[in-house]
Amino acid sequence: MKHKNSVVSHVIVNNMGGITSLVQHLIIYKGDYSLEQSLIQLDINGNLNTPAKLDDRIKPTENQIIDSKNNWYYTFGQLAKKLSSEDGILVSNDQYDLIMLQAFNIPKKVVQIVHDLYNLDLSIKYHDCIDVFIAHSLFISDNLKRIFPHRIADIHFIPYGIPLYPSSTISINESKSLNLLFLGRHTASKGIFDLIKINQILVEKCIYVNWIILGNGPDTEQFKKEWENEPNVSFRHPPTVSEVMNEIKDCDILVLPTKFEGLPVAMLEAMSMGCVPIVSNLEGGIQELVEDNINGYKCTLDDNELFAEKIIYLHLNRMILFQLKQNAQEKIYKYYNASIQMPKYQKLFLHLFENNSSPNHHSVSRKIGSKLDQFWIPNFITRLFRKNIYVK
């Protein structure tokens, strides 16, 4: 059934990373029974993260600049205008559209995807602007139900999915050095500066491996500098997902000593190609996906010795590594297939849209910003004052 002028609008910050990948997969693998889709990218002034590289199958997007010097009512009024040309659903992945909904009504109901603890904090702060919550881990889902027991009907647990690329046959690596992979944004919160320490422990124990470091980010240059005297590392930044997956297929172990995470898309992608995760034991999707001694290992946060110990164990036990690689791939193929999971999200969007109730945020009216943020203050005046304040 087609609905004219009804659109699912996805709003994301213009960053390369897991949320961007997830939203692209939602659009590309939406299935046959869904509303039209649109994507708005938010360009945050001063953002140091690598901009998103969108799939060629995604239609050209609108971009909205979020500049801290602007009058909030000017900036968020522009965003509201872009989201008001059609009815449908707004899919929120960060704070900016939720801030907007406190002061502006749009003709869309609001779905928040609660990726991790950061998004859970946003759920608590802006819950009265949100019609439906979607968690892709049981940990987040259970927390939402504990916090909002009166809204259990609005809370949905739907694991997300990734595209399943043709994978090479998993074979036993009997004698070669293991290929260790890092895949993700190059920031300290992803644990990138722990990797050199793990490598040093391996060298001290006469375990020689190859490191393949994929991705980019604000800390890339410092990251590379720490490795400049190491002969066993290769930094690569493949421009497309298919090229990333081609790099992953030759790797044995994903090493992810991350400090903060929901359910890393990079981990699902690596496991789908038969790469065994050794990852920080963080509450949430990681604990639900990674089973110790079955398809990977969870290590105590910041315990580089334990990360190295698990790598050494698999280096010395190649048959166990082979079995874990098979199990890792099987788990993703069975439960995280984008062609199966993403239509479940779209079905929920459509069901919510066809419910005739008014959007929750229409009953919310709150002041946003500071004293310099007002409906009646022209934006150039707010910018002038803030420019002078920042200069001082």
Residue range 225-251: mean pLDDT, rounded: 89
Domain finish residue from 319, 335, 351: 335
pTM: 0.90
Same domain flag for 231 and 331: yes
Please give the tally of structural domains in the chain: 2
Same domain flag for 364 and 222: no
pLDDT at residue number 392? 46
pLDDT at residue number 167? 64
Residue 209 in any domain: the answer is yes
Say whether pLDDT at 284 is over 60.
yes
Same domain flag for 49 and 148: yes
Q: Which two tokens stand for residue 224?
A: 């590379």
Same domain flag for 217 and 325: yes
Say whether pLDDT at 47 is over 50.
yes
Residue 363 in any domain: the answer is yes
Residue 58 in any domain: the answer is yes
Domain finish residue from 289, 310, 335: 335
Say whether pLDDT at 168 is over 70.
no
Residue 170 in any domain: the answer is no
Same domain flag for 150 and 195: no
pLDDT by residue (tens digit) across 301-349?
999 999 999 999 999 999 999 999 999 999 999 999 999 999 999 999 9
Say whether pLDDT at 75 is over 50.
yes
Same domain flag for 219 and 85: no
Same domain flag for 353 and 323: no
Residue 165 pLDDT grade (very low, low, confident, very high; cuts 50, 70, 90): confident
Residue range 126-140: mean pLDDT, rounded: 96
Residue 372 in any domain: the answer is yes
pLDDT by residue (tens digit) across 111-124?
999 999 999 999 99
Same domain flag for 323 and 346: no
Same domain flag for 231 and 371: no
Domain of 201, in residue numbers = 179-335
Residue 231 in any domain: the answer is yes
Residue range 249-269: mean pLDDT, rounded: 92
Judged by average pLDDT, the poorest of 214-218, 229-233, 239-243 is 239-243
3-state secondary structure the chain: CCCCCEEEEEEEECCCCHHHHHHHHHHHCCCCCCCEEEEEEEEECCCCCCCCCCCCCCCCCEEEEECCCCCHHHHHHHHHHHCCCCEEEEEECCCHHHHHHCCCCCCEEEEEEECCHHHHHHHHHHHHHCCEEEECCHHHHHHHHHHCHHHHHHEEECCCCECCCCCCCCCCCCCCCCEEEEECCCCHHHCHHHHHHHHHHHHHCCCCCEEEEECCCCCHHHHHHHCCCCCCEEEECCCCHHHHHHHHCCCCEEEECCCCCCCCHHHHHHHHCCCEEEEECCCCHHHHHCCECCCEEEECCCCHHHHHHHHHHHHHCHHHHHHHHHHHHHHHHHHCEHHHHHHHHHHHHHHHHHCCCCCHHHHCCCCCCCCCCCCCCCHHHHHHHHHHHHHC
Same domain flag for 230 and 326: yes
Question: Domain containing 62 — which CATH number?
Answer: 3.40.50.2000
pLDDT at residue number 100? 98
Same domain flag for 379 and 282: no
pLDDT at residue number 5? 75
Residue 63 in any domain: the answer is yes
Say whether pLDDT at 356 is over 70.
yes
Which of 102, 13, 89, 9 lies closest to 50, judged by CA?
Answer: 13
pLDDT at residue number 239? 78
Same domain flag for 330 and 343: no
Residue 350 in any domain: the answer is yes
Residue range 151-158: mean pLDDT, rounded: 97
